[in-house]
Amino acid sequence: MNETSAKTFLFVPGHRPDRFAKAAASGADVVILDLEDAVAPERKDAAREHVRAWLEEGHRAVVRINAAGTAWYHEDVASVGRALAVMLPKAEDPAEIDSLAGRLPGVPIVPLVETAAGIANAVAVCGADAVVRPAFGSVDLAAQLGVDHRSHEALRYARSALVVAAAAAGRAAPIDGVTTALDDEAALVADLEHAKTLGFTGKLCVHPRQVAVADRELAPSASEIEWARGVAALAGDGSVAAAGGQMIDKPVEARAKAILERAGEPFRPAG
């Protein structure tokens, strides 16, 4: 699946090659082989070699490398040229993204925006040429801000800022951060509903059991699809129409088209 339209992204620790195939078979749209937070310093070198070998065997995965400025960054970059895309943590400087892209020609970049500076510079970060779609690092940002990463209200501004930045830069809608409650489906569903309401269309998952729930909750609902079909039935002649007491014009048509595309249906105006 194209990383711009994928809904579910499953992290796998890079030092656990025994889990790579299981992750690929989990139903997640995209597997992220992690060289950063999930891997202890003494295991970084081994993890890098496991990831390199997996990619060289022809498997497709995004790789989260270590941040620029760390002791592992340059070796990570040298090992991920076959990745589906590279996730850059602590992304906050578009020049840094451009530099990474110069070393990995043709490899898309997913900036993980998880610092206050990253949120403040989000439009520029999303606008870097190699960026296909940003991701939100809720846990790290919350730690920097001194707030609870589980609080929707505390991080509402940051999430919305990233959604707006992605749209302003013409990039795909962002991927929301992880839900750390592994055994609480209600918490996961609440996080997904909140993120979807704000405009996120993807979710970072840290356990295979989260994948099916995220896939279900991020898909258009039956009522959304019915509404979009109704808009399509009245659209197409370039004029403003009304349905169910609501005005239908070009922006409304665009939203209906996006909903149907996410549902795997064509938007066929009647006019």
Domains in the chain, ordered, with CATH?
Answer: 8-218 (3.20.20.60), 222-262 (no CATH)
Q: Please check whether residue 135 is in contact with residue 112, taking contact to mean a CB–CB distance below 8 angstroms.
A: yes
More confident residue, 2 or 133: 133
Binding site annotation covers 140?
yes
Classified as helix, coil or strand, 78 is: helix
Q: For 13-48, how does the pLDDT look when each residue is reduced to its tens digit (9 = 90+)?
A: 999 999 999 999 999 999 999 999 999 999 999 999
Q: Mind listing the pLDDT tens digit for each residue in 97-141?
A: 999 999 999 999 999 999 999 999 999 999 999 999 999 999 999
- The pLDDT score that the predictor gives to residue 1 is 47
Q: Is the pLDDT of residue 247 over 70?
A: yes
For 1, 4, 215, the CA distances from 210, given in Å and listed in that order, are: 18, 20, 9
Computed over every residue of the chain, the mean pLDDT equals: 93
- Check the annotation: does 114 bind a ligand: yes
Rounded to 5 degrees, what angle do the CA atoms 183, 113, 262 make? 65
Calculate the CA 268 to chain-centre distance. 28
CA–CA distance, 88 with 261 (Å, rounded to integer): 28
63-97 pLDDT, tens digit each: 999 999 999 999 999 999 999 999 999 999 999 99
